[in-house]
Each structure stands twice: as C-alpha cells, then as structure tokens.
Amino acid sequence: MSLGKIIGIVLIIIGVALAIWGYDVYDSASSQLERAFSGDTPMEAWLGMVGGAVCILIGIVKVK
C-alpha cells in the first residue's frame, strides 16, 4: 500500500470524526438555545462539519 493511500485513509477517518464532532456541537443543548434566541450557529460547528467534509473529499482523491 502506497503512502498516498495511507494518507487518504487517515484523512477520511479524521474527516468523519470532525464531521461527527461538528454535528454534536451543532446539536448540543447550548447551541440549540443560542440558535433559538439569536439565530447564530456556533463557529465550531461550521468548522467541524465543513472541515470534515473537506478532509473526506481530499482523502477520497488520495485513495483513488
């Protein structure tokens, strides 16, 4: 297995973990209250979900 494929697999795993973490932050009770009163979503949630998606896409490209 080449180094590029190993890096791709690691990026996919990290991306999935980041996306799950971002969704957990988005779905937390404090985040729900904040969205209810101010309409703002925490930046950590966006960073986790978008960063996770980017890592997954880069990992998929590396694996191919």
Predicted local confidence at residue 55, as pLDDT: 97
Q: In the chain, how many domains are there?
A: 1
Q: Which of 45, 57, 44, 61 is nearest to 16 (CA)?
A: 57
Can you give the pLDDT of all 64 residues of the chain as single tens digits?
899 999 999 999 999 999 999 999 988 888 888 888 888 888 888 999 999 999 999 999 999 8
Domain enclosing residue 29, as ranges: 3-63
Q: What is the pTM of this model?
A: 0.84
The radius of gyration of the chain's CA atoms, rounded to the nearest angstrom, is 15
* Residue with the two structure tokens 């880069």: 58
